[in-house]
Amino acid sequence: MPYHLLVAEDQDDIRELITLNLRNSGYQVTSVADGLAAMAAQAGQVFDMLILDLMMPGMDGLEVCKALRAKGRSTPILMLTAKSTELDRVLGLELGADDYLTKPFSLAELMARVKALLRRAELLVAAQSAAQAQPASLRNGALEIWPTKRQVRQDGVLLDFTALEFDLLLHFAQHPGHVYSRGQLLTAVWGYSHDGYEHTVTTHINRLRAKLEHDPLRPELILTVRGAGYKMREAPP
C-alpha cells in the first residue's frame, strides 16, 4: 500500500504542483488549503507524513504542528516556509517539526526530504524493535537514555526532546568518543546528505546543549572537535 501524505498549502499553484509530483512518484495524497482543514482531515484518517506550509490563514503550520504533538502524534512533519531566519527554523523545530524547507525550493529537493523522513520513520520502528535486545538504558555520567521508551533523564529529571533531538542524542550516546562531521550526522540521523543544510545539524546541537549542559557555551557532554565535527564525551568510569 502506498504511503498516504497530507499536504497543507494555501497557495493553489504550489499545492497543486507538490500534489502532482507526489502522486507521480507513487504516493497517495490528500491536499488542503489551510490549517483548520488539515486538522479536520486527520479526524478520521492516519497519514504517514504531513507537509505543512508555515503561513496559512485560520491556523498556520506551527499551530497545526503544536496541536498534533500535544496529542502525542509522532507523524513526520516537513515544514515549508518562505521565511529563512534562524528564529523561524528554531521555532518550528521546537514545536515538533522534523525538518523544514525554505521557499523557493526545487521539486527534487522536496522529494529527497520526503523520502528521507519516511525512511527515518521506518528505521525508527526497526530500531525500537532491535532495542528490545539491547540494554534497557544508556548511561553517560548523570545522563541516562531509554531507547525503547524514548526517554531521557539527567540527574534523575525527565527532559523533553523533539523526535530529531532524541535521535541525534541517541546516536551520540551509542558511539561515545566518536567524532562525526555535520555531513555524517545529517546522513546518519536525518537520512539525507545535501550541501548547504549542515546548519540544521548545528541548530540541533545547540538545542541539545541548551537542554543538557550546565553552561551551553562551555559544553562538557557534547563537544566540538575543531575542524572535524562533534562528539559525545566517553562515559566516565
Q: Specify the pLDDT at position 135.
A: 62
140 and 48 co-located in one domain: no
3-state DSSP call for residue 72? coil
Residue 97 — very low, low, confident or very high, per pLDDT cuts 50/70/90? confident
Q: Specify the pLDDT at position 225.
A: 94
Q: What pLDDT, in 10s, does the model give residues 43-68?
A: 888 899 999 998 888 888 889 988 88
* CA 61 to chain CA centroid, nearest Å: 15
Instruction: Note whether 15 and 33 are within 8 A (CB).
Output: yes
Range of the domain at 25: 4-127
Among 149, 151, 142, 194, CA closest to 169: 151
Domain final residue, candidates 127, 162, 188 = 127
Does a structural domain hold residue 146? yes
Render the burial of 200-213: b for 16+ CB within 10 Å, e for the rest: bbebbbebbbeebe
Among 31, 234, 64, CA closest to 139: 234
pLDDT of 90 higher than 80: no
pLDDT of 29 higher than 60: yes
Q: What pLDDT, in 10s, does the model give residues 151-183?
A: 999 999 999 888 888 989 999 998 999 999 988
CATH of the domain at 34: 3.40.50.2300
Among 42, 50, 46, CA closest to 22: 50
Average pLDDT estimate for 127-145: 74
Domain final residue, candidates 96, 127, 158 = 127
Only one residue has cell 523533539, namely 162
